[in-house]
Amino acid sequence: CSANYIFTKGTDWRTNPYIGTASHCTDKVGQVVIMQVDTTTLAEVGTVAKRTSTQDPGQDFVLIQIDPAVAAKWGVNPAVPVVGGPQGIYTGCGPEGVKYYGHGYGVAVAQGKPEAGLATNWYDDGFGWTGFGAPGDSGSPVLTSGGQAAGDFTHLIVDLGAYPGSDHAGTRITKALSQFGV
């Protein structure tokens, strides 16, 4: 799975930081999470603090509280690699070009890869788009073409009845922010 955005309960992301991913990438609250912290190192970064109760499109998000010692040693950078952002939060209902950076097929793409698509299905909790994705991209940050945070990447080949024309879906960032109070 891939990580997405840096979150905080206050106004400064350097204080009490969290990092997001897809809920289906974790098992339970309190679980220790291991992530890649530089080009060659895996480390325990923190524990699952909050997660959605289901893993359906629009309900698949988790917050991992970053251990202060890990933040001090490795740093916390809120920038999304390669694609940039986030520059605000997308609250519209598209159609909207989207871009994301994930670690699907991690062995083949090493540090990750940028992808893009067109989001045409926007709901209060989820959104859907047509583009390219791979196993391992789950949790990736999805941004609009203008750099606004849209949400996370959670599903490949979604229910075409609920998301007509979309082959990917995720949880909207507005849903995650309101549900978790960050």
Query: Quick one: tokens of 56?
Result: 């359906």
For the segment 142-148, the average pLDDT, to the nearest whole number, is 96
C-alpha–C-alpha distance, residues 98 and 133, integer Å: 12
For the segment 12-18, the average pLDDT, to the nearest whole number, is 82
C-alpha–C-alpha distance, residues 182 and 179, integer Å: 8
14-17: list long-range contacts, CB under 8 Å, 24+ apart: 14/71, 14/76, 16/65, 17/65, 17/66, 17/71, 17/76
Q: Please write the tens of the pLDDT for every residue from 36-73.
A: 887 788 899 999 999 998 899 999 999 999 999 999 99
Q: Please write the tens of the pLDDT for every residue from 100-136.
A: 998 876 555 456 789 999 999 999 999 999 998 888 8
Q: Please write the tens of the pLDDT for every residue from 70-85.
A: 999 998 988 888 888 8
**What is the value of pTM for the model shown?**
0.92
